[in-house]
Amino acid sequence: GAGVSQSPSNKVTEKGKDVELRCDPISGHTALYWYRQSLGQGLEFLIYFQGNSAPDKSGLPSDRFSAERTGGSVSTLTIQRTQQEDSAVYLCASTVITGREQFFGPGTRLTVL
Amino acid sequence: KNQVEQSPQSLIILEGKNCTLQCNYTVSPFSNLRWYKQDTGRGPVSLTIMTFSENTKSNGRYTATLDADTKQSSLHITASQLSDSASYICVVGSNFGNEKLTFGTGTRLTIIP
């Protein structure tokens, strides 16, 4: 079956613009994670969705970042008023249940000029 | 603060040789330890997942070890192949309700013919 997909694969934007990143998890996976990978850094947890529970937003770096998951499937990460330090690869992962193997998408490379 | 440290930062070996990558962690409470392989421009792919009761797990030519007492793990790669060139990331899971993963910055492995 299909793996986790993300779009776009690359996004170049100007400072101050808003961007939306999309993640399509593996069908049937109830848990979905967003991570950020900056150059030379380890993956940084951003937000976690589990079924219909309230999302764990503890990793979001500022109120410019938000995410939603519609219908328990597709998720969108929105960054408002982008800054140059937001430039990174944004990775989405899904899993059947927390504690099990996470399957990662290919990521979206965001460049803020 | 939960931390995962990996060494070496980078490694170059000849095709066919063996190598061992190291991981030290200070994560509490400990739930599991994972090794991921990340090819350039791709999302991480899981190699092994170990709980505290497991001290070794193999996946083909990859063998991971875990010493929960000293909080150390290693990933041994046998008879390396050119396709093993990638970053190898050590990840420790912590059970705080929703599982939180702490990522190392990875070891960049290059296999040369």
Report the distance separating Cα B67 and Cα B55, nearest Å: 6
From the number of C-beta atoms within 10 Å of its C-beta (0-12, 13-18, 19+), residue B82 rates as: exposed
Best CA proximity match to B88, nearest among B113, B106, B70: B106
Is the Cβ–Cβ distance between B14 and B77 less than 8 Å?
Answer: no
Chain B: nearest CA to A58, how far in angstroms?
10
Report the residue of A43, A53, A92 to disrupt the B interface, i.e. the one with the largest count of B CBs within 10 Å.
Answer: A43
Report the residue of A98, A100, A109 to disrupt the B interface, i.e. the one with the largest count of B CBs within 10 Å.
Answer: A98
Q: What are the distances in angstroms from CA A31 to CA A2, A36, A56, A94, B47?
A: 16, 17, 11, 6, 20
pLDDT in tens, A9-67: 999 999 999 999 999 999 989 899 999 999 888 899 999 998 888 898 989 999 999 99
3-state SS string for A17-73? CCEEEEEECCCCCCEEEEEEECCCCCCEEEEEEECCCCCECCCCCCCCEEEEEHHHC
| Residue located via tokens 């960054």 | A79
pLDDT band for position B106 (50/70/90)?
very high
* B66 bridge partner residues: B73
Residue B43 has pLDDT above 80, yes or no: yes
Give the dihedral of Cα atoms A46, A52, A53, A58; nearest 10 deg. 10
Report the distance separating Cα A72 and Cα B64, nearest Å: 34
Residues 23-82 of A with CB under 8 A from B: 35, 40-45, 48, 50, 56
pLDDT in tens, B50-90: 988 899 999 999 999 999 999 999 999 999 999 999 999 99
Is the Cβ–Cβ distance between A68 and A75 less than 8 Å?
Answer: yes
Is the Cβ–Cβ distance between B52 and B39 less than 8 Å?
Answer: no
Q: What are the distances in angstroms from CA A92 to CA A43, A44, A77, A108?
A: 11, 11, 10, 9
Q: What residues of chain A lie within 8 A of the CB of B95, using their CB? A: 99
Closest residue on chain A to B33 (Cα): A99
Residue B41 has pLDDT above 60, yes or no: yes
Q: How many CB pairs under 8 A join A and B?
A: 49
Chain A: nearest CA to B34, how far in angstroms?
9
Structure tokens given for A84: 């140059």
Report the distance separating Cα B102 and Cα B42, nearest Å: 19
